[in-house]
Amino acid sequence: MKNLLYLLVTTLLAILYSCSSDVKPQRPNILFIPVDDLRPDLGCYGDDFAVTPNIDKVAEQGVTFTRTYCQQAVCNPSRASLLTGLRPDTLRVWDLRTEFRNKLPDVVTLPQYFKENGYYVYGIGKIFHNIYPDTISWTEKPHVAGFPFDPDAVYLNENNIARQEEKKKIYIEKGIDRIDQLGYWYIKTVAIENADVDDDAYFDGAQTTAALKKMEELAKKDQPFFMAVGYYRPHLPFNAPKKYWDLYDRAFIPLAENKSIPENMPEYAMNRGNELRSYEDMRDLPLPEGVPFKTEKQRLLKHGYYASVSYIDAQIGRLVDGLKKLGLYENTIIVIWGDHGWKLGEHNAWCKQTNYEIDTRVPMIIAGANVSAKGLQSEALTEFVDIYPTLCEIANLEIPEHLQGSSVVPLLQNPHQQWKTAAFSQFLQGRFGRMHANHEGKQYMGYTIRTDRYRYVEWYEWDKSNTKGALTDRELYDHQDDPGENINIADFEENAQIVASLSDQLNKGWRDALPD
């Protein structure tokens, strides 16, 4: 009898084990959140002035990467690189005008790869560059009714709306077409708006409401989802509801400490701030080598930036609350990233578009499901091309062989381990904005390597056929002594050996810097 009972029990256990071994673990959802022009001015990055409680709470559930770098500090190349997992020279996208599908039509993007592996892939807002939504990548690509496809210049104050209408009439009379892909007029007037309105009056709030409705639908589907919600603020214009402006006392907003261009810098290495100067209230923007804006104007711009960041922080909080209410939070990976840095008076400049730390260093937070390290920071050198392979591994998908980054999943388990020896970025100066007259409109490609201690840059002539020419300049900044990158020491005789070593590392490229 005992033998019969033993046989029965072991047989049942074997059947149960066999059945359970056939059950595949539930695949995690992905909440993918790009934020336009977001630099690491967040509470979880040590900014005590920024009011970002919702992003900070996300960071408590994962790893905050304090030394992540974009591959090129302007929207289209940065996003194309991240979303394809390829570096700019491989993708051959270096400016705002080039669509990556025209260069590599068959490349499989990050959301597309998840779609091909059984995920329901939904995107809303700015994920790829504004005018290149890449419909191939999505299961569906919705549009929020009542807003332009590129809502950078949505104004709500009566004076600004009236000014837009005046400019619209002038354009029509001159035969100038200022209409976007979906038939909306959008005209820049002022760089800052403080309107006493609800969150949904601007696009970022409205799209969050739309995303939450979609989240409810996705929760009912019998498949995991990849939801990308791309936010436009804090991109210019700094238009945000008044309640977010009220979070800050402008008189106490800290200003940039290094208000001068780097000493010994090649003069074409710094952008000229044309993006900000294109707004009517910023026509007097000085060039970097000029006299800085008056303090009041610097504070106004930083106030607008901080208010815009807090506005987006609130929207991210709404998304996370939506996950929790639907019972999705425990099985969702959350990725928050800003596509490049942004100067707020540093080097007496504004906006992005350089190879300097202030423009290439970016926020990246990975939290939630399958992240064992909680509330920790990693100082490992990481790059945006690492996101694609990371999400593949964390979702138990095979990592495509063509990717040019490294999965950071080991850092999500142990954030303090040894990692890459360098991160790589580049920028094509001369294709953006106004050059100095003595450069006669020439283009220069700057390649930069960021190691634990140094930033080193090599500049090359770049002709119209996108061919690398002669080496023209070098830059070297020692972050141990000069974290603001204020003195280029590349030509100092005592640094010759350091320059030679870094040049060799730079030219060996990213593969030689990979973690063991």
Choose, from 44, 70, 75, 392, the residue flagged as catalytic: 75
Beta bridge partners of 459: 446, 473
Q: Over the stretch 40-53, which tens digit does the pLDDT of each residue have? A: 999 999 999 999 99
pLDDT at 8 over 50: no
Among candidates 22, 129, 28, 124, which has minimal Cα distance to 84?
129
Q: What is the DSSP string of 121-139?
A: EEEEESSS-TT---GGG-S
270 HSE (CA, 13 A, CB side): 26
Contact 359, 262 (CB under 8 A): no
The confidence band for 146, taking pLDDT boundaries of 50, 70 and 90, is: confident
Q: Over the stretch 241-288, which tens digit does the pLDDT of each residue have? A: 999 999 999 999 999 999 999 999 998 999 876 799 999 999 999 999
Beta bridge partners of 62: 367
Choose, from 44, 70, 129, 340, the residue flagged as catalytic: 129
Q: Is 75 a catalytic residue?
A: yes
Spatial separation of the C-alpha atoms in residues 409 and 419, rounded to whole Å: 12
Q: Over the stretch 388-419, which tens digit does the pLDDT of each residue have? A: 999 999 999 999 999 999 999 999 999 999 99
Spatial separation of the C-alpha atoms in residues 350 and 364, rounded to whole Å: 22
pLDDT at 292 over 50: yes
The pLDDT value recorded for residue 132 is 82
pLDDT at 13 over 60: no
- Percentage above 90 pLDDT, the chain: 82
Residue with tokens 């593969």: 511
- Percentage above 70 pLDDT, the chain: 92
Record the tokens describing residue 377, joined without a space: 């920071």
Spatial separation of the C-alpha atoms in residues 208 and 52, rounded to whole Å: 17
The confidence band for 431, taking pLDDT boundaries of 50, 70 and 90, is: low
Spatial separation of the C-alpha atoms in residues 475 and 11, rounded to whole Å: 72
Domains located in the chain, CATH noted: 32-155+190-418 (3.40.720.10)
175 HSE (CA, 13 A, CB side): 0
206 HSE (CA, 13 A, CB side): 16
Mean pLDDT of 229-250: 97
pLDDT at 2 over 50: no
Mean per-residue pLDDT over the chain, rounded: 91
Spatial separation of the C-alpha atoms in residues 132 and 79, rounded to whole Å: 11
Residue 51 has what DSSP assignment?
A: -
Mean pLDDT of 172-187: 78
- Residue 218 three-state SS: helix
Predicted TM-score of the model (pTM): 0.93
Residue with tokens 């959350």: 334
Omega within 30 of 0 (cis) for the link into 88:
no
